[in-house]
Structure 1
């Protein structure tokens, strides 16, 4: 297969995953993950394996994720080998009454997908991080933050002079 065909298949897999999320929830979504997949959530929790992923998401779909839709935009697909790629995307969850997600709920995802022996692409690893850009370095908040850090570092250096010699 060529890269364009593979990238199109990966994009279809992401679309199908989003549709399964909205239609069926955790029971359908776990089929898109390898049995030994890793899933790091936006709060830093680490779900090890498809079964752990399914269990956690079943609880969430029974509560706060009920009726949600998953929206995402693939920003890049970079192939590591003919059977593995890194996908970077930006997305969010929408509740049934929402057409777009607030900026505060946008996340950037890094996904490692692998092609199985059956030719299907699946998620081997997923990292989800909230988009929280830092203020500009010349903003008042960043200048104050830097000043506090410089003062704290100066005190620390006085108390730990041996650390500087190393």
Structure 2
């Protein structure tokens, strides 16, 4: 395959993964990841392996807070490190079932590492970070944060 085709496949893969989230299917969601994946959630929790990923997400989807939630987002970029290794950046957020629109404070940016094995792409690493722009960080406040006066 060529790079254009692989980029299209990776973008489609992310959207299919989002669809699994939107259906509340933790096992289908985790199936997009390698068996030995590393998954870092927005709260810093580090899951190791597809099984842990599937179990946590299914528990979340079955629980009160994320039941009926929907991911709204898109792929920002795909960069090929090699023909079999790509870095994918996406952004978006989780809209809770009682929300009419995505709350600005729930927006995140995701970094996914994709590997191509036996002609198929899968994600082997994922890191999710909340988008929290800094506001009003003057020099004085920065120095206080660094422990200097």
TM-score (norm. length: structure 2): 0.90
1:2-58 alpha-carbon deviations (Å, 9 max, x no partner): 111000000111111111111242021111110000000111110011111111112
Superposed CA RMSD:
1.8
Unaligned runs of 5+ in 1: 155-166
State the partner residue of 2:31.
31
Task: State which of 148, 153, 156 in structure 1 corresponds to 2:148.
Answer: 153
CA displacement at 1:116 relative to structure 2: 2.2
Q: Which segments of structure 1 move beyond 6 Å, counting only runs of 4 or more?
A: none
CA displacement at 1:91 relative to structure 2: 1.1
Unaligned runs of 5+ in 2: none
Once residues 77 and 27 of structure 2 are traced to their aligned partners in structure 1, the CA distance between those partners, rounded to angstroms, is 28
Which structure features the higher share of strand residues? 2
**Structure 1 residues 143 and 85, CA, compared in 2 at 3 Å: closer, same or farther?**
same
CA displacement at 1:99 relative to structure 2: 4.5
Written as runs of structure 1 = structure 2, the 5 A alignment for 1:1-166 is 1-63=1-63, 64-117=65-118, 119-135=119-135, 139=136, 141-146=137-142, 148=144, 152-153=147-148
Considering only CA atoms, is the larger Rg found in Structure 1 or Structure 2? 1
CA displacement at 1:144 relative to structure 2: 3.8
Count of matched residue pairs: 148
